[in-house]
Amino acid sequence: MGEGNGLEPGIYRYVAEEHALTQEIPGDMREKLAGAALSQPMVSKAPVSLAISAVYPRMTGKYGKRGIRYANMEAGHAAQNIYLLGVELGIGTCAIGAFEDDDVKKVLKLPANEEPLYILPLGYI
């Protein structure tokens, strides 16, 4: 989101199929994202934040309503891996679940069927 190394400030989407980032919105959006997350200062200050989202219909189409549980579990696993990698690299994080879903969706311009689950600000400690 912010002063990344080699990336212009902006909002990027991770495209798993290509293991690539595509810029969705240019510009430093940290204040806006923090505003959607109860003005938690980690979000406005961290050089980068990772947002984890879910498209539940992708999971419920296959697993029925248990798919919601599976998507949430997977988000937890991904966040835990970010914590673990952070320990390895000396980068701190703080998993954030307290935010206004609709406001985060607007800031990140998420499609209607994509739900934000976590914001993980990253920074050196």
Ligand X SMILES: Cc1cc2nc3c(=O)[nH]c(=O)nc-3n(C[C@H](O)[C@H](O)[C@H](O)COP(=O)(O)O)c2cc1C
Which residues sit at the interface with ligand X, rule CB under 6 A?
Answer: 40, 94-98
Closer by beta carbon to ligand X, 27 or else 97: 97
Q: How far is the CB of 109 from ligand X (least distance, A)?
A: 22
Pick between residue 60 and residue 72 the one whose CB is nearest to ligand X: 72
d(Cα 29, Cα 35) in Å, to the nearest integer? 10
Q: Output 68 or 95, the one with its CB closest to ligand X.
A: 95
Strand partners, 22: 13
| Tokens (6 digits) for 63 | 């697993």
- Residue 96 CB, nearest distance to ligand X (Å)? 4
For 120, the token pair is: 């993980």
Give least dist CB 26 to ligand X, A: 27
Tell me whether residue 29 or residue 117 sits nearer to ligand X (CB atom): 117
Q: Scan for tokens 């200062």, then name that residue.
A: 41
Place of tokens 């798993």: 16
Q: What is the DSSP string of 64-97?
A: TTHHHHHHHHHHHHHHHHHHHHHHHHTEEE--B-
Supply the minimum distance, in Å, between the C-beta of residue 122 and ligand X.
12
